[in-house]
Amino acid sequence: MNIPGAQISVEKNVMGPPTGKPVNIEIASENLDELIETAGSFKNFLDSIRIPGIENLKSDFENNKPEIVIDIDRERANREGISLGQIGSELRTAIYGTEVSKYKEEEDEYPIQLRFSEKQRRNINTLLNSKITYRDMNSGQLRQIPISSVAEIKYIDTYGGIKRKNLKRVITLYSEVLSGYTPNEVVASLNLAIRNYELPKGTEISLTGEREDQEETMIFLGKSMLIAIGLIFFILITQFGSMSKSMIILSEVVFSIIGVLLGLTLFNMPIVITMTGVGIVALGGIVVRNGILIVEFADVLKSRGLKTREAIIQAGKTRITPVALTATAAIFGLIPLAVGMNINFITMFTQLNPQLFFGGDSMLFWGPLSWTIIFGLSFATFLTLVFVPAMLLIDVKMKTGIARRRSTRLYRKSLRK
């Protein structure tokens, strides 16, 4: 490729909402020269220690942008009786144009711009040799001189642009993460490297990009989880009128989170903050339903005259089938989405060839959500059938014991009187 300064980068397709770079280091300072020096030395420092996972650290600061400077001899311009504003206005008119009139067609108006032709605009010598007509400020006479008589050209390199954030100049170092590494691992190593690097006074280094987006997502999902649990708890209190039963049912949410973490650890899967968090919030509503089935049916059997222990055991035996079947149906229904199964329905019906394959792009987005629900539901369903009846029985025994002790105290007090 023969385009000067052009760079080609290839990135893996990313599903979901747009995020920043996995590695995004912002260096901020009010002193520009000190900022440029710090950014360069810090980049060299990171390159020297070779943090695993960083693909190719780049900087968004350009300090070699070519620039043409027209240097005006102020003393010569004063002698000629021409001002800097007149020279600048002439050059601007030649390059960008000046509106000299308007063309009106019915109710629409179109500005008429006067400027040099494209061939003249692209020739710097033609621009400088063009004559400027002006009125001499000293004698009041109309004069005409070439711009080159009071100006000369300089070719220099300058900054491509200076970015600011919170009123401070910022230079950003960014990079992708190599396959086999996670952004969180690389960011942890970068935090350690930043602590070991001495920064000049007034200079700050912060890690942003994807990490910043993750923190905002975690805060949002945490609030969503608390709101969801609060609403579920309010509904359970309204339905059962018992604080202890509501807490027993809500404990399944904790069991489901434990199951998610165990499943991701055993199968060595990365935690995708957004979709894993959404899956955990969704699990809160799914697993609570199974607990409601057992607790509610136990209350129904007790109202029919069965003893508490027998009612709880019978409720567990009766509800084991619907609880297991609904959980199994949900798990098997999510497996095709989790493994990224794709079917070409057009060729399946026209050519009897479904072109079945696994691991499509959809798995990048829906895979973490599906596996989260599968792991959490599998673990929580088993514990629902074992721990919920056990905790119900423990709760009844504790309440019975407390009631007996209270009645004993009241009886003793009455005897003393």
Which residues, listed in sequence order, are joined to residue 49 by a DSSP beta bridge?
Answer: none
Question: CA dist 294 to 59, 235, 287, 354, 370, Å?
Answer: 60, 16, 12, 42, 26
User: By the 8 A CB rule, do 249 and 295 touch?
Assistant: yes
Taken in order of first residue, the domains within the chain and their CATH numbers are 23-63+161-208 (3.30.70.1440), 65-156 (3.30.2090.10), 213-416 (1.20.1640.10)
CB of 128 within 8 A of CB of 90? no
Residue 216 tokens, joined: 């905002």
CB proximity list for 45: less than 8 A, separation 6 or greater:
193, 197
Distance CA 57, CA 180 (A): 18
Which tokens in the block code for residue 54? 């960083």
**């032709």: which residue's tokens?**
117
- The label of the residue with tokens 């605009």 reads 121
The confidence score (pLDDT) of residue 398 equals 84
Angle (CA) 49 55 61, round 5°: 85
Q: What is the CA radius of gyration of the chain?
A: 37
C-alpha dihedral, 259 to 261 to 267 to 271, nearest 10°: 140
Look-up of token digits 């055993």: 266
**Euclidean distance between CA atoms 246 and 66, whole angstroms:** 70
Q: Which helix (H) or strand (E) holds 216?
A: helix 210-240
| Per-residue pLDDT at 216 exceeds 70 | yes
**CB 262 within 8 Å of CB 209:** no
Arithmetic mean of pLDDT, 91-120: 86
Inter-residue contact 193 to 45 (CB < 8 Å): yes
Give the C-alpha separation, 200 to 224, whole Å: 41
pLDDT reported for residue 13: 59
pLDDT digits (tens, 9 = 90+) for 169-201: 888 888 888 877 777 788 888 888 888 888 888
Global pTM reads 0.60
Which helix (H) or strand (E) covers residue 329, if one does?
helix 308-338
pLDDT, average across residues 337-356: 82
Whole-angstrom distance, CA of residue 76 vs CA of residue 226 = 75
**Main-chain dihedrals φ then ψ at residue 355, nearest 5 degrees:** 50, 50
What CA–CA distance (Å, rounded) separates 101 from 300?
Answer: 88
Q: Distance between CA atoms of 287 and 330, rounded to whole angstroms?
A: 11
158-172 pLDDT tens trace: 777 778 888 788 888
> In 3D, which of 97, 146, 98 has the Cα closest to residue 125?
146
pLDDT tier for residue 5 given thresholds of 50, 70 and 90? low
Tally the residues of the chain.
417
The first and second tokens of residue 415, run together, are 């005897």
Q: Which of 177, 181, 208 is nearest to 194 (CA)?
A: 208
pLDDT per residue as tens digits for the range 284-316: 778 888 888 888 888 888 888 888 888 888 888
pLDDT-derived band of residue 58, with 50, 70 and 90 as boundaries? Answer: confident
Strand partners, 65: 158
Two structure tokens written together for 196: 């070991």
Q: Is the pLDDT reported for residue 14 higher than 70?
A: no
SS3 150: coil
